[in-house]
Amino acid sequence: MKHDVHIAHISDLHIAGSGEGRQLQDLDRMLEYLNVSGYDHLVISGDLSDRGRTEDWAIVKDKLVRHGWYHWERTTVVAGNHDLIRLEEEMRFYNAMNPLQGLRERACRQRAESFCRFFRELVTAGDDTEPAFPFIKVMRFPAATLSIVACNSVHAWSPTDNPLGARGVIDPSELRAIASPAVRKALSGSFVIGLCHHALKVYGTDRLLDQAFDWTMELKNRDDFLQVMREIDARVVLHGHFHRFQTYTSGGIEFINGGSFRYASKRFSALWIAEDGSFTQEFSDIPL
């Protein structure tokens, strides 16, 4: 009899239509494997779609439904930059219309709202609240109570500040909401997991070319994010974006990068949380 809560974490699927049969087959196999292996909860940390298409979200939703994962207590998803930003369109539109940055930011926020509405059943547990970021899930499992605190870290495209659309920011109002006394009270006594798409640390090298690239991927207000994660006593933070399976510690919190399902579709991160609040993590491969 198991006494731990088992969490599986995948990221960056970058689904590009239903033509990519092999990747979709692998997704079937992954979800099936997680089922038979007794995983309690699945986290997908963004970039479900490659080109910001709702049709790709529908493909993921359909797979989750078919394998019995499409339930609030079974799966949590957040959006990535590829879900909310259509880079080619942004550039074309910008060149043609040169819209105000404020409008662009509003459009990106609205897209995040449609993401939450699309995956409504995974965000709001069936009540009447409007699904939106940030959202908090407090889930009671036999071994432990688990909270997931999910933020949107996607930063609107900008020709100067975010030319690749890959830079992240978490809206200060989201961080304030998470740090509020009401949320902290709701989280008390549970094992707290932070969740967003962007990495706290983008590991580059000393090469100037890499450093020049790093800023285009970074989470701009990472210090504020880390501060809030510490305030709510998050034990781990799950993310993706930087397509690399890795773990690192910052401010006493373990950060886990779920890599990319698109490029390594057998691999996932496994997190076991014990009754006493201790946890272990490893990257695991599903058997061929």
Q: Residue 166 Cβ, how far from Fe ion at the closest point, in Å?
A: 6
Q: Residue 12 Cβ, how far from Fe ion at the closest point, in Å?
A: 4
Which residues sit at the interface with Fe ion, rule CB under 5 A?
A: 12, 47, 80-81, 241
CA distance 1 to 143: 11
CB atoms within 10 A of CB 65: 12
By residue count, the chain amounts to: 288
List the one residue out of 200, 247, 269 whose CA is nearest residue 7.
269
Q: How far is CA 17 from CA 20, 48, 159, in A?
A: 7, 11, 28
- Choice between 80 and 131, CB closer to Fe ion: 80
- Choice between 81 and 190, CB closer to Fe ion: 81
Q: Residue 273 Cβ, how far from Fe ion at the closest point, in Å?
A: 26
Q: Residue 112 Cβ, how far from Fe ion at the closest point, in Å?
A: 14
Strand boundaries in 131-278, DSSP class E: 135-140, 145-150, 191-195, 234-239, 245-250, 253-258, 267-273
Q: Residue 86 Cβ, how far from Fe ion at the closest point, in Å?
A: 13
Cβ distance 48 to 56 under 8 Å? yes
- Choice between 135 and 261, CB closer to Fe ion: 261
Q: Residue 242 Cβ, how far from Fe ion at the closest point, in Å?
A: 8
CA distance 29 to 56: 18
- Choice between 5 and 199, CB closer to Fe ion: 199
Instruction: Determine the straight-line distance between the first and last CA of the chain, rounded to whole angstroms.
Output: 26
- Choice between 15 and 177, CB closer to Fe ion: 15
Q: What are phi and psi of 177, to 5 degrees?
A: -60, -40
CA distance 8 to 284: 10
The helix/strand count (H/E) of the chain reads as 10, 11
